[in-house]
Amino acid sequence: MTFAIGTPCIDVRDRSCVAVCPVDCIYEGERKLYIQPTECIDCGACMTECPTGAVVRLEDVSGPEAEFAFDNRRFFEEVLPGRDRPLGSPGEAAAIGPVRGDTGLVRAYRRAN
């Protein structure tokens, strides 16, 4: 089981999940937070702490939100704007700080009014 962060986090980034993550695997993009799937130990602390319900178990997500949940991995595997290589698995989010970029799906996202 792996956790991911979906659309309720876009343009919110409350960071409560970051504070409780025991392995520091939640990275900050420009518009949302992302869970590094190979660094996550599946403890679920982030899910219970998130005030917007943005953290989901990949095995439980469906519908339109599934695309955003599975997009979480792309943040680490694809070359983001302004970078020359994928972020990969740095091992500690705090050590690299906010990443100036998001996946194409998140960059294009517009919240319905």
Domain that holds residue 88: 3-106
Residue 111 lies in a domain: no
SS3 16: helix
Residue 49 lies in a domain: yes
Q: What percent of the chain has pLDDT over 70?
A: 98
Residue 112 in domain: no
Q: By three-state DSSP, how is residue 60 classified? A: helix
Q: How many domains are there within the chain? A: 1
Q: Are strands 26-28 and 55-57 parallel, antiparallel or unpaired?
A: unpaired
Over residues 34-43, the pLDDT tens digits come to 999 999 999 9
Question: Residue 73 falls within a domain, yes or no?
Answer: yes
In whole numbers, what is the pLDDT of the chain averaged over residues?
93
Task: Assign residue 86 the CATH number of its domain.
Answer: 3.30.70.20
Q: Are 76 and 36 in contact (CB under 8 A)?
A: yes
Residue 113 lies in a domain: no
Q: Where are the alpha helices (DSSP H) in the chain?
A: 16-20, 45-49, 64-71, 74-77, 93-96, 104-108
* pLDDT given at position 64: 85
Query: Is the residue at 29 inside a domain?
Result: yes
Distance of CA 40 to the CA centre of its chain: 11
Q: What is the pLDDT of residues 46-81, one digit of tens each?
A: 999 999 999 999 999 988 889 988 999 999 999 998
For the chain, where are the E strands, in sequence order?
3-5, 26-28, 33-35, 55-57
46 inside domain = yes
Q: Is residue 57 part of a domain?
A: yes
pLDDT at site 107: 95
